[in-house]
């Protein structure tokens, strides 16, 4: 029996997830068949099911991978020397994502599927809780270091920031000609109701 190679397994999982993401972007969750993902990944169904038991498992893994990337980005911003600039970079990154039709459509698909799928809903809820926790740590640290002053406790400021981000995403979902970057100045003004920069 061949020994398990964890690095090789991780590479194969990432390869399958990338293939699934391309299929979902082209056809949506419901129209994408397992056979489509196998063809895109260049592997047999048996090989795919060795890594992911179902299409649902693939979707959940994609949500978890996205959340891990988000938390890593927030963690880097938390450790940044210039807290306000790091916060602006997070905002600009989000505005960029909301300008990408594929990202917006996939996010809408995840939300729609989560309404019907309790396992996916639980995954999305965990993701949101982690996102809030990561942001709260960011606001707490940079308030302590004197980068900015908060008008409310860190957790409430995190909620406020998430409301702004999710509001932009919501408009991008329903307005075909929505240009997120046009609202950057308004978002900054709203953000500064809760976060006052003390350093440039």
Identify whether residues 46 and 124 lie together within a single domain.
Answer: no
Instruction: Tell me the per-residue pLDDT of 127-164, one tens digit each, with 9 for 90 and over.
Output: 999 999 999 999 999 999 999 999 999 999 999 999 99
Query: pLDDT (tens digit, 9 = 90+) per residue, 5-55?
Result: 678 888 889 999 999 999 998 988 888 999 999 999 999 988 888 899 888
pLDDT at 163: 95
On whether both 90 and 158 belong to a single domain, the answer is yes
Per-residue b or e along 81-120, where b marks 16 or more CB atoms closer than 10 Å to that residue's CB: eebbebbbebbeebbebbeeeebbebbbbbeebbeebeeb
Count of domains for the chain: 2
Do residue 76 and residue 139 come from a single domain? yes
Q: Are 101 and 133 found together in one domain? A: yes
Report the CATH number at residue 90.
Answer: 1.10.357.10
Pair (176, 142) in one structural domain: yes
**pLDDT value for 8:** 83
Residues 113 and 28 occupy one common structural domain: no
Q: Which domain holds residue 186?
A: 62-197
Model confidence over 29-43: pLDDT tens digits? 888 999 999 999 999
Pair (146, 76) in one structural domain:
yes
């Amino acid at each position: 029996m061949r020994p398990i190679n964890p690095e090789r397994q991780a590479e194969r999982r990432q390869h399958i997830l990338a293939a699934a993401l391309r299929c979902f972007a082209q056809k949506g969750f419901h129209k994408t068949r397992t056979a489509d993902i196998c063809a895109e990944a260049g592997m047999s169904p048996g090989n795919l099911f060795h890594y992911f038991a179902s299409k649902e498992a693939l979707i959940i893994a994609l949500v978890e991978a996205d959340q891990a990337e988000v938390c890593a980005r927030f963690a880097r911003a938390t450790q940044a020397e210039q807290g306000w600039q790091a916060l602006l970079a997070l905002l600009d990154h989000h505005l960029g994502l909301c300008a990408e039709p594929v990202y917006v459509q996939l996010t809408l698909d995840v939300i729609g599927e989560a309404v019907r799928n309790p396992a996916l809903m639980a995954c999305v809820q965990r993701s949101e809780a982690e996102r809030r926790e990561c942001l709260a740590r960011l606001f707490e640290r940079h308030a302590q270091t004197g980068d900015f002053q908060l008008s409310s406790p860190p957790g409430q400021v995190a909620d406020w920031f998430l409301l702004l981000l999710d509001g932009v995403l919501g408009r991008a979902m329903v307005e075909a000609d929505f240009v997120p970057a046009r609202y950057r100045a308004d978002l900054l003004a709203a953000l500064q109701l809760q976060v006052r920069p003390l350093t440039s």
